[in-house]
């Protein structure tokens, strides 16, 4: 958060420059004075010039005791910056004044007071320059000291101590029931370590939280510290890595030193894969700075005792790239998988994030949780926030299901392209394409359930069919379910070919996904005539990126057979899609006509069309759709 500096801070920032400017002006003033030429004349020479009447200006300045007088002025032929100066004793002044009065060129002479009598002038000329120089030197030295302090802090730990206002508890963490039970003993140990010491129990030094992004790993770590009421140090793995070798290792040492002073405490390292990747990997060898930092982290974790009251919790979504030494017993010896929430957990998460939202009566969080499979906690929070923004944009007093539906589409595919002009031909093509997907979902046994169809373009898609699992289950798919997915993906291409007598590029992404599933069935899942053999295995290089290479444990002959099996699966599913669509031509045309008329049809409308029932009474009419788009 950026904080605007106040007037005092601004003045302090500009004060050194003001002082420096004053010193420069003073130096220029002195130099300008030094640039003038002063001719020293004796008393006799002054009298001679007065007799010759060559003096044009004259100034008499007495000293404080009036025993000596300084006479300055100009003589004919002097330049603009040229003057004379003469020291005269008091006894000779009358004689000089006589000559001055007789001179025709000197109409009058000036008499100035002694500058020594003016304390202000004395301070201005003699003391003030010294004061300016001293102040300037002070600020320069203080700036240098602060700069050196920053350089000394360069190797200090960047771990931040969480404030009391940022404390969390298990009440703030919705779902994650099993994960909370897994880390409950850590809280018990931090509260009462002697209980474990009596029985000789060794509490884990490190706990690794593994899971997809946005599932609540950081929030769970904060809740552990909040429940145990201990200091919570937070740092990211990237905070250790620096350009200079040895800085990261120094920060690790400083972090553990600070943690020991605050024990019992909890250290949370987010994205530990940034510093904990396997050593000696990648093109051209390893990374010296990162490897030294990792070595120091391993040493420090071995250095403190088992029950010193320091527990390290790390989070990552890439456990496969971590160094094996980091995961051995005695270091991060416990892994807790924080997976995506199920429907009940999603409902709890939505309830937590809906506390400060004004929801309309038609919003049912339980139903919304069933419609958002695969959403993480961060996705659900973003969903409700997008719905709230839409409600404000539409000047509504509460968030309705219309805003939530639109927000769901925005999170999945992006905002609707309502201003894009679509020709009738494009609209017909997209409606036929999406109707093909929908009919496969409606008529194929193992296909997913169709919830919504739209031909409003979003992101890179000209339209889409929302299909969700009929029931939520673990991430295990049968062969028939995978074949149904491929058939559903090919339904759009088949529908175009059958009804429009031509094909378009709109099915490119569908074909890509179908091919990936079919090849995985052959090479990874053993679901083909080649038998239960894994022919390909992804090898994600630590520095080479995802899917840079794959190990291929087969001959060229087998490669040909893999291609044939993949093609056979695609062709079989394509024939099945053709059969289903040819048997439901009337339904395709009804869905297409409804999409052209309303642009978006919901599950209730789809069911009405399938059952040959009227569906015009549904709220999502053409007028309401246009009104909604205009409001957006």
Question: Which amino acids are annotated catalytic?
Answer: 434
| Residue corresponding to tokens 């074949």 | 483
Distance from the first to the final alpha carbon of the chain: 31
Residues 331 and 349: their CA atoms lie apart, in Å, by 32
Residues 624 and 622: their CA atoms lie apart, in Å, by 6
* DSSP bridge partners of 210: 316, 337
Residue closest to 72 by CA, chosen among 81, 85, 89, 82: 85
* DSSP bridge partners of 449: 468
Output the CA torsion 345→346→351→355 (10° steps).
Answer: 120
Give the number of C-alpha atoms closer than 13 A to the C-alpha of residue 142, restricted to the C-beta side: 10
* DSSP bridge partners of 539: 549
Q: Which pair of tokens denotes residue 359?
A: 């929801």
Residue closest to 247 by CA, chosen among 111, 156, 186: 156
Ramachandran quadrant class, 545 (left: phi over 0; alpha: psi -120 to 50; beta: rest): left
* DSSP string of 583-606, one letter each residue: HTHHHHHHHHHHHHHHSEEEHHHH
Q: Which pair of tokens denotes residue 576?
A: 């099945």
- For the chain, how many residues are written? 632
In degrees, to the nearest 5, what angle opens at C-alpha 125 toward C-alphas 121 and 131? 115
CB 371 within 8 A of CB 451: yes
Residue closest to 294 by CA, chosen among 319, 269, 306, 276: 276
CB atoms within 10 A of CB 416: 20
Cα separation values, 574 from 286, 430, 481, 520, 584, Å? 48, 19, 15, 18, 16
Residues 624 and 183: their CA atoms lie apart, in Å, by 50
Residues 152 and 142: their CA atoms lie apart, in Å, by 15
Q: Which pair of tokens denotes residue 112?
A: 């100035």
């Amino acid at each position: 958060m950026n904080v605007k500096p106040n007037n005092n801070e601004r003045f302090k920032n500009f004060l050194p420059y003001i002082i420096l400017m004053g010193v420069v002006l003073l130096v220029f003033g002195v130099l300008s004075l030094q640039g003038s030429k002063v001719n020293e004349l004796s008393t006799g020479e002054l009298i001679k010039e007065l007799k010759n009447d060559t003096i044009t200006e004259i100034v008499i300045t007495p000293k404080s005791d009036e025993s000596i007088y300084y006479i300055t002025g100009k003589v004919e032929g002097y330049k603009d910056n040229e003057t004379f100066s003469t020291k005269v004793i008091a006894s000779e002044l009358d004689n000089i004044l006589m000559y001055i009065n007789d001179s025709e060129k000197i109409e009058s002479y000036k008499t100035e007071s002694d500058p020594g009598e003016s304390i202000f002038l004395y301070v201005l000329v003699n003391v003030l320059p010294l004061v300016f120089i001293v102040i300037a030197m002070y600020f320069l030295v203080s700036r240098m000291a602060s700069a050196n302090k920053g350089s000394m802090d360069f190797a200090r730990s960047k771990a931040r101590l969480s404030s009391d206002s940022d404390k969390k508890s298990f009440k703030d963490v919705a779902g994650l029931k099993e994960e909370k039970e897994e880390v409950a003993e850590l809280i018990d140990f931090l509260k009462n370590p002697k209980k474990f010491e009596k029985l000789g129990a060794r509490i884990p030094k490190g706990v690794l939280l593994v899971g997809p992004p946005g599932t609540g790993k950081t929030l769970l770590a904060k809740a552990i510290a909040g429940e145990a009421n201990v200091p919570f140090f937070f740092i990211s793995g990237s905070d250790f890595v620096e350009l200079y070798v040895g800085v990261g290792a120094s920060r690790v040492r400083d972090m553990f030193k600070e943690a020991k002073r605050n024990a019992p405490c909890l250290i949370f390292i987010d994205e530990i894969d940034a510093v904990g990747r396997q050593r000696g990997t990648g093109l051209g060898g390893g990374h010296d700075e990162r490897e030294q930092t990792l070595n120091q982290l391993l040493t420090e974790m071995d250095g403190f005792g088992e029950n010193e009251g320091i527990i390290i919790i790390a989070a990552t979504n890439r456990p496969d790239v971590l160094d094996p030494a980091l995961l051995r017993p005695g270091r991060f010896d416990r892994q807790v998988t924080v997976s995506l929430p199920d429907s009940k957990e999603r409902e709890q998460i939505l309830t937590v994030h809906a506390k400060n939202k004004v929801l309309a009566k038609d919003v049912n969080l339980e139903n919304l949780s069933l419609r958002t499979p695969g959403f993480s906690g961060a996705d659900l929070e973003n969903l409700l926030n997008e719905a709230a923004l839409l409600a404000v944009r539409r000047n509504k007093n509460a968030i309705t299901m219309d805003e939530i539906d639109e927000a769901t589409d925005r999170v999945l595919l992006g905002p609707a392209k309502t201003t894009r002009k679509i020709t009738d031909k494009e609209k017909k093509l997209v409606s036929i394409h999406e109707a093909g997907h929908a009919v496969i979902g409606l008529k194929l046994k193992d296909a997913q359930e169709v919830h919504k169809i739209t031909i409003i373009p979003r992101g890179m898609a000209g339209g889409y069919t929302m299909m969700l699992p009929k029931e939520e289950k673990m991430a295990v798919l049968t062969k028939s379910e995978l074949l149904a997915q491929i058939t559903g993906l090919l339904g759009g291409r088949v529908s175009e070919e059958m009804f429009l007598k031509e094909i378009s590029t709109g099915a490119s992404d569908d074909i890509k996904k179908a091919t990936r599933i079919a090849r995985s069935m052959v090479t990874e899942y053993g679901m083909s005539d080649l038998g239960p053999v894994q022919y390909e295995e992804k090898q994600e290089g630590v520095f080479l990126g995802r899917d840079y290479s794959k190990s291929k444990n087969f001959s060229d002959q087998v490669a040909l057979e893999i291609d044939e099996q993949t093609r056979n699966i695609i062709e079989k599913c394509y024939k099945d899609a053709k059969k289903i669509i040819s048997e439901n031509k009337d339904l395709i045309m009804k869905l297409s006509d409804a999409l052209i008329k309303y642009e978006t049809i919901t599950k209730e409308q789809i069911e009405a069309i399938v059952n040959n029932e009227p569906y015009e009474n549904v709220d999502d009419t053409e007028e309401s759709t246009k009104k909604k788009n205009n409001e957006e």
